[in-house]
Chain A
Amino acid sequence: MEPYAALMASFVLCGIVAAVMVCASWILGPKNPTPTKLEIFETGNPPMGSLRGMRFPVKFYLVAIFFVVFDVEVVFLYPWALIFRQLGWAGLVEMAIFMAILGAGLAYVWQVGALEWD
């Protein structure tokens, strides 16, 4: 069997089992909903206002951006690591330049304090 076909079969098997597990208590469990039970939890008080409209700090957004950038950097490292022995010193220099430029980025982010969480 093709490796990818095996992977697909694996996806299907896991998907079915996971679906059964997720639905298990909907099938097996009791169902007697009450208005209080269906309220979202807020330390026992009636919930105030809606979550939609709540905002959160820009820090998280920055972390996501940094992640995207450095993830792309790491993505370039994989194929490089794979054929590193064929590339030799030239490959090392090539990657060193790339990393130095991004390392400057990390240093800048560090220096301006964008990694501080306060």
Chain B
Amino acid sequence: MIAFWIVALFALVGALVVVLHRNPVYSALGLVLTLFQVAVLFALLDAPLLALLQVMVYAGAIVVLFLFVIMLLSLEPEKRLAAPFPVAVAGLVLAATLGFGLVVSGTLPLRSGVPSRLPADFGSPESLATNLFTKHQLPFELTSVLLLVAVVGAVVLARRRS
């Protein structure tokens, strides 16, 4: 439980850096911190495979891509912009609604469908793999199509310029 609060604190700090820091490189690194802490949370919740894959894919690959894009565009630290009044209000309302929803869903009792005792192998790499490759074959196969589209799209966009 103590571990949870420490990890959650770091995750929040990272998230705040992402949103508030004016230098995009710092934001990307804040994102790494948050993603890493979320991975630790997964590990604390008995999902080691998910935790490690989170680090590998998000922290190890996707944020590297973000950093490359930031450097490619050589983004300057952004100027502080005053948002127009309606936009600011809309953002505030949206954030408040989301926050309220999160608090409510966090305090409500669990749905009755969730068993109070989890199976012994819950979250283990084996059970995750078995679920993925026996019950969710179609989404798994469709993922490859999605990735294919990503590759082709990237090549087409990069080629158009040259």
Contacts and interface: CB of A to CB of B under 8 A. Distances in A.
Given A61-B69, A102-B148, A76 B140 contact: yes
A6 B30 CA distance: 26
A104 B154 contact: no
Nearest to A104: B148
A94 B137 contact: yes
Interface residues of B, number: 43
Nearest to A79: B129
B58 to A, nearest CB: 10
A76 B137 contact: no
Contacts, number: 118
A27 interface: no
A97 B142 CA distance: 10
A105 B43 contact: no
A53 B77 CA distance: 11
A91 interface: yes
A114 B53 CA distance: 27
B112 to A, nearest CB: 30
B62 interface: yes
A65 B148 CA distance: 11
B68 A114 contact: no
B98 interface: no
Q: Would you call the interface of chain A mostly helix, strand, loop, or mixed? A: helix
A101 B144 CA distance: 6
B51 to A, nearest CB: 10
Interface in B37-75: 43-44, 49, 53, 56-57, 60-62, 64-65, 68-69, 71-72, 74
Given A71-B57, A101-B148, A65 B65 contact: yes
A19 interface: no
B135 interface: no
Given A62-B158, A67-B61, A98-B141, 13 more contacts: A55-B72, A60-B68, A62-B154, A64-B64, A65-B150, A83-B126, A86-B130, A97-B141, A101-B144, A101-B145, A109-B151, A114-B155, A114-B159
Interface of B: 3, 43-44, 49, 53, 56-57, 60-62, 64-65, 68-69, 71-72, 74, 76, 125-126, 128-130, 132-134, 137, 140-141, 143-145, 147-148, 150-152, 154-155, 158-159, 161-162
